Structure 1
Amino acid sequence: MHARAATAVTTALLGTVALLLPAAGVRAVEDGTPPAVIAHRGASAYAPENTLAAVDRAARLGAVWVENDVQRTRDGKLVVLHDDSLARTTDVEQVFPGRAPWKVKDFTAAEVARLDAGSWFGASYAGARVPTLKQYLDRVDLHRQKLLLELKNPELYPGIERETLKLLSNEGWLDQAHRGRLVVQSFSAASLRTVHDLKPGVKTGFLGTPSMADLHAYADFTDQINPSHTSLSRAYVSAVQAFTGPHGKPLEVCTWTVNTADAARRVAGYGVDGIITNKPDVVRDALRR
């Protein structure tokens, strides 16, 4: 009788310990799979960032994944732009000189559509436009690429999570055919929690480097931890990948922004799952060698 009781207690304790410990996972380098190469804002070293031209260039370079940023206009349209201001990557100061500081949220979609988003990068891209998210999705789909979509500055755009998910759904990006082709990421943990609560099936990624002690909390609502490559170590990558995410798989690590062959080989050696880069060809070639 006492032996059975002792066995039961031991089993219960082991079960408790198992729940507290992160689940073990297999790193990409251990099963021979190289990290995914993700074209940052498209192939942004070779074409103006976040434009359709950058998506096209990424496709020509063989990039399977592209990354982009989403903001919202004054009239509620979702557009693809990194900054919350239009000033750096468009001619908004010339077209609308009296409307500093030229925040995206202060312009209508029709006004944004008038802007040249290519000349700042090079004369050959003059006339490129800021794409809507719908236009961007269509182009990525045309190339059969996969999308790492960042909700940029969600604190400026209350409700952008629901609006983005609605557009993704309307455009077919939440259907079975697109499963495995979409990750929604953000620097905002609260925004990712909202995405996960609204659409638990959508894969998410947190941009940043949470402490190892906090990783268990992130594993409740995100599938990836995506830090700057300058903050990475082999130990940190292993710690992240030891946890199981909300979809029952080991957490992944996609690191940014890696633009040299040496840095690409270094982070690949750490066992990262993805490398975000402005130069997908440089990273691809480095990983092949």
Structure 2
Amino acid sequence: MAHPLFVEKRHPFVLGHRGVPLLHQENSLAGLGRAVELGIEGVEFDVYRTRDDHVVLFHDEETHRLTGVRGRISDMSWDEVSRLRIRRRLDVGGGRIIDYGREERIPLLEEVLDEFSGKLLMNIEMKAYAPRWDRRHTGTEVARVIRRCGAANSVVVTSFDFFMLWYLEREFAGLHSGFAYDDGMLGEKAGEWFERIPEIRTDLARMPGNQNGVSFLNFLMEANAIGRLIDSTLVDAEYTLIDSDTVERFHARGMLVGAYTLFPLDTRLARHSYEEPLEIIRRLAEQRVDWIETDDPEQLQEFFAHL
């Protein structure tokens, strides 16, 4: 069976960011099940490796925001994680709290793949806030779970950690995987240094303010040095890093491009954009981006239904 992302498509696939977070807690079985019910094409979710080598769906390194229990998910055993519950009421940013009606448990990647392979396209993000050599075997364990579940044609794997991706491909060569790029990944000090230089005239310079940092990240991404190193077949990029020829460049290499996150619930870390969300979506679709991740997949689905 051909991987669904590598076939001709009428519009970018819609992926619910962490499921359907307006309706169910992020990275929960309930959220993934609702995506199927709504006819959404896919989902993105985050995973960590526990202390005893189980892979679980969870977004934060620290457990307190989501569960009320203090700890680090990667320092816990599966037995400890299995007893945690994702809170009924969650702060989703900007002072907004959603009451989901009930608590949810934290699922194993294996049970998610067993349940939803063939029903959803799944972008498995191996969560990392910076590359760490000691976390490299997250890639090994994720690859083993995907092989064990026979789920290779239902998933892509992304990460901000190239060590994890390297070990993923070592364990299961041929999985569709790629590095993720965030428009804030230069860090505050480097970003300030770039802004001291007169602005370089690039496609991305059309945005308000000095965009040298973003333009530099776009250059790094399009050069694809990390992709060549880890044998990537795709790249996942914050939409602010995608300019007029980014998708064309990657498609010429036989690689896919995903974009995130449209209609975000939590806007605290989002960069200001001069474009309206629907203008961004239209532009990404015209550039033939392969998928778009969104916190409101129903709205994005409705937009493409009327194209």
TM over 0.5: yes
Q: Quote the residue 2:88 is aligned against.
A: 119
8 Å contact kept, 2:23–2:100: no
Q: Pairwise mapping of residues 177-192 of structure 1 onto structure 2 (< 5 A)?
A: 179=153, 181-192=154-165
Separation in 1, partners of 2:115, 2:278: 28
Provide closer, same or farther for how the CA distance between residues 80 and 213 of structure 1 changes in structure 2, counting only shifts above 3 A. closer
8 Å contact kept, 1:118–1:129: no
Deviation at 1:272, TM superposition (A): 0.7
Q: 2:120 aligns with which of 145, 166, 169?
A: 145
| One-letter amino acid of the structure 2 residue matched with residue 86 of structure 1 | T
Provide closer, same or farther for how the CA distance between residues 210 and 76 of structure 1 changes in structure 2, counting only shifts above 3 A. farther
| One-letter amino acid of the structure 2 residue matched with residue 146 of structure 1 | L
Separation in 2, partners of 1:210, 1:57: 38
Provide closer, same or farther for how the CA distance between residues 242 and 219 of structure 1 changes in structure 2, counting only shifts above 3 A. farther
Provide closer, same or farther for how the CA distance between residues 283 and 213 of structure 1 changes in structure 2, counting only shifts above 3 A. closer
| One-letter amino acid of the structure 2 residue matched with residue 261 of structure 1 | L
8 Å contact kept, 2:56–2:108: yes
Q: Quote the residue 1:166 is aligned against.
A: 144
Deviation at 1:217, TM superposition (A): 5.5
Separation in 2, partners of 1:231, 1:217: 16
Separation in 2, partners of 1:150, 1:112: 19
- Residue 53 (structure 1) aligned with residue 30 (structure 2): yes
| One-letter amino acid of the structure 2 residue matched with residue 227 of structure 1 | A
Moved more, 127-136 or 255-264: 255-264
Separation in 2, partners of 1:272, 1:88: 33
- Residue 277 (structure 1) aligned with residue 268 (structure 2): no
8 Å contact kept, 1:80–1:131: yes
Normalised by the length of structure 2, the TM-score is 0.71
Q: 1:43 aligns with which of 16, 20, 23?
A: 20
Q: Quote the residue 2:180 is aligned against.
A: 207
Deviation at 1:123, TM superposition (A): 4.3
Gaps of 5+ in 1: 1-27, 94-101, 244-249
Separation in 2, partners of 1:187, 1:217: 11
Separation in 1, partners of 2:293, 2:69: 29
Secondary structure at the residue paired with 2:110? Answer: helix
Provide closer, same or farther for how the CA distance between residues 252 and 158 of structure 1 changes in structure 2, counting only shifts above 3 A. closer
Moved more, 211-220 or 48-57: 211-220
Separation in 2, partners of 1:242, 1:216: 15
Q: 1:240 aligns with which of 234, 250, 267?
A: 250
Q: Quote the residue 1:251 is aligned against.
A: 255
Q: Quote the residue 1:73 is aligned against.
A: 50
Separation in 2, partners of 1:75, 1:194: 18
8 Å contact kept, 1:265–1:286: no
Secondary structure at the residue paired with 1:257? Answer: strand
Larger Rg: 1
Q: Quote the residue 1:83 is aligned against.
A: 60
Report which of the two has the higher share of strand: 2
Deviation at 1:216, TM superposition (A): 5.6
Normalised by the length of structure 1, the TM-score is 0.75
Q: 2:278 aligns with which of 251, 255, 261?
A: 261
Separation in 1, partners of 2:280, 2:293: 11
Deviation at 1:212, TM superposition (A): 5.6
| One-letter amino acid of the structure 2 residue matched with residue 114 of structure 1 | R
Deviation at 1:237, TM superposition (A): 2.2
Separation in 1, partners of 2:140, 2:103: 31
- Determine what percentage of the aligned residue pairs are the same residue: 27
Secondary structure at the residue paired with 1:195? Answer: helix
Deviation at 1:139, TM superposition (A): 2.9
Provide closer, same or farther for how the CA distance between residues 56 and 212 of structure 1 changes in structure 2, counting only shifts above 3 A. closer
Separation in 2, partners of 1:193, 1:165: 11
Secondary structure at the residue paired with 1:227? Answer: strand
